[in-house]
Chain A
Amino acid sequence: MSDSHPIIPGSGITGASDAYNIEGRETPETRPLIPLGQRYYAEEKPRMGFFTDTTVCIGCKACEVACKEWNNVPDVIGELTGQSYDNTSSLGANTWRHVAFIEQRKPIKMQQEAGLMTPGSEEDGEFRWLMSSDVCKHCTEAPCLDVCPTGSLFRTEFGTVVVQEDICNGCGYCVPACPFGVLDRRQEDGRVWKCTLCYDRQKDGLEPACAQACPTDSIQFGPLDELREKANGRLEMLHEAGVDDARLYGANEEEYGMGAFFLLLDDPEVYGLPPDPEVVTRKFKSLWGAAAVAAGALVAGVAAAFAGGAR
């Protein structure tokens, strides 16, 4: 859905950068799972999502602002955090896109990519500044959605996970359920809020506000299978250039399927992301099994209490 009008005909340069597509590359089957819930819509739609390529993020925060403008999210004027250029700190009820800034001493592989190296004594390592725009992952199996007792959280026809502000009663259950700390309750109105993947815009075929604004196309929006293919291409490109640090996060359905996944240059936890998230809510057996055992024990306990006599 991102505009892909050719700008230099014949050159293959299009409005949306196609620098990600490598010709002749074999693309693995990556058709993402259609999540439970999405299947039941009258009309079948491809699952839509985000590929956030943090290697081209310039930390401009246009995504944060565009999101807030579109969704009328209130601002929260705080203090300087002293944490690089990040003053909104984390995703939350009033920040649905959040840009992380990480200052690091580490070899800069991107410089090796072009055969350029910065000097500096070996033991120092080189400096790099990582930036990454985080967002709700629109999980294939979303713990938040599973636990919501009101049906406020639901799966849309695009395979995304949305809170319905007209339903949410602020029970707060989804907050600790989310493995990524995405959801939070807004003090002023008692409800929880998060990225809707611009559900309203998508209904009209529009690109989400954050992706549209992103100057460098760090945020790419589209059908998830296409995005995963692109991402694999980009990853290959980086690996070929010697950027061994590069990795995809959330692109593998077997591990943890995300509708919004990322290309990172370091361990996820460095960006504030969990290294191995789990769908905690689908472990019905171990969860309810233990409860059944406990209930049994309770029955046994009561029975035992009467075993010694009724009075």
Chain B
Amino acid sequence: MSDGRREPQPQISMTQQGGSLDGRGEVRPVPEEQVRSYYGRPVLKEPVWTWEIPWYFFTGGLAGASAPLALAADLAGNERLARSARFGALGGAMVSPVLLISDLGRPGRFFNMLRVIKPTSPMSLGTWVLSAFSGAAGLAATTDVLGIFPHARRFFEGVATLLGLPLATYTAVLVADTSVPVWHEARGELPLVFASGAAASAGACAAIFTPIEDAAPARRLAIGGAVAEIGATELMKHRLGKFLAEPYEKEAAGRYEKLATALSGAGAAVMTLAGRKSRAATVAGGAMILAGAAFERWSVFKAGFQSARDPKYTVFSQRERLHSRHRAEDEG
């Protein structure tokens, strides 16, 4: 038309860039440039969850991992440690539902959670588990405080342990069981991250509230958990690949992750070096480990939002998948 060439249009560039992506065997430039989208709008909806949820991941983990710690300590005859862990479990179990309910759009309808048992819904199962766990942990703590029914207490501890294990890990399944790519694609490693974080926080919490002389297993659990948490996170990011790991490394998620690693690492170091000698060091190290575990959950939480917000994560990972499927078809 008229006098010549049109300039490329920045305002609608997202939809205009690039050609078809599934031409086979074509040279593939960096993701950002080849991802097409609708005005850069997200394909997915960002979750609507608010601050309560990462804290719930944390308290749930703390509670869940505290139960086996309590049982083990009880079995091992470390009554002081067992009691701390028992109260850790109870505390976590008491705070968790409050957080959950507060996050609901209709808190008054919390009971509807117990309307069905949905095997397909981690949240449904998780709610049942949490409810049962709270009961068991509560009874274990009550019998402890009242000093009655020692056998029953051990039974309750056993139940709480059985429920605590899923409680500490199901939240990872919960987020992985969504279409958010950085959660779903991390489904293999996220439970490990959460479990190690749970172990670290259960250990740290118990260590803080237990006299040094009785706290060694808790310290070891805290240190081991913290180290495992750092390792599992790295493993997760490695498995996700450079592109999908990106959301974990930038913006809020990235900041939280750095803090988590630093605090967990530092906490573990403090505990290792001074935990045996100084109660204060234990408290400080424990607090750092607890904070590290919390920040790790926040990092995971935020990364999910960040990846849902930007269509490139959804589109690119799916395009990649299509590609490899096509390649496989070509070869097969």
Contact = CB atoms under 8 A, between A and B. Distances in A.
Consider the complex of A and B and state whether they touch directly, i.e. have CB atoms less than 8 Å apart. yes
Contacts of A311: 78, 81, 213-214, 216-217
Contact of A172 (B105, B109, B126): B105
A297 interface: yes
A64 interface: no
A305 B41 contact: no
A104 interface: yes
A181 B304 contact: no
A288 interface: yes
Given A172-B49, A183-B45, A100 B38 contact: yes
Contacts of A168: 105-106, 109, 112
B109 A169 contact: yes
Interface in B1-54: 1, 5-6, 11-12, 15-16, 20-22, 35-39, 41-49
Interface string B126-144: 1100000000000000000
A291 B169 contact: yes
A148 interface: yes
A122 to B, nearest CB: 11
Interface in A152-202: 152, 167-173, 175-186, 189-192
B258 interface: no
Interface in B46-102: 46-49, 65, 68-69, 72-73, 76-78, 81
Contact of A297 (B108, B183, B196, B308): B196
Interface in B294-323: 304, 308, 311, 314-315, 318-319, 321-322
A205 interface: no
Interface in A268-300: 269-278, 280-283, 286-288, 290-291, 293-295, 297-299
A306 B218 CA distance: 8
B315 A274 contact: yes
Contact of B216 (A146, A183, A301, A308): A308
B104 A170 contact: yes
Contacts of B43: 179-181, 269, 272-274
A301 B38 contact: no
B178 A177 contact: yes
A212 to B, nearest CB: 27
Contacts of A180: 43-44
Interface string B155-196: 000000000011011101110111110011001111110111
Given A190-B105, A290-B190, A305 B115 contact: no
Interface of B: 1, 5-6, 11-12, 15-16, 20-22, 35-39, 41-49, 65, 68-69, 72-73, 76-78, 81, 103-110, 112-113, 115-116, 118, 120-124, 126-127, 165-166, 168-170, 172-174, 176-180, 183-184, 187-192, 194-196, 198-199, 203, 213-214, 216-218, 220-221, 224-225, 228, 304, 308, 311, 314-315, 318-319, 321-322
5 nearest CB pairs, A to B: A170-B105, A190-B105, A272-B38, A294-B191, A169-B109
Interface of A: 81-84, 86, 89-90, 92, 100, 102-105, 120-121, 123-124, 143, 146-152, 167-173, 175-186, 189-192, 267, 269-278, 280-283, 286-288, 290-291, 293-295, 297-299, 301-306, 308-311
Given A294-B191, A310-B77, 19 more contacts: A90-B41, A121-B5, A147-B121, A169-B109, A169-B112, A170-B109, A184-B45, A269-B38, A269-B43, A276-B321, A287-B176, A290-B191, A291-B173, A293-B191, A295-B165, A297-B192, A303-B72, A305-B220, A308-B220
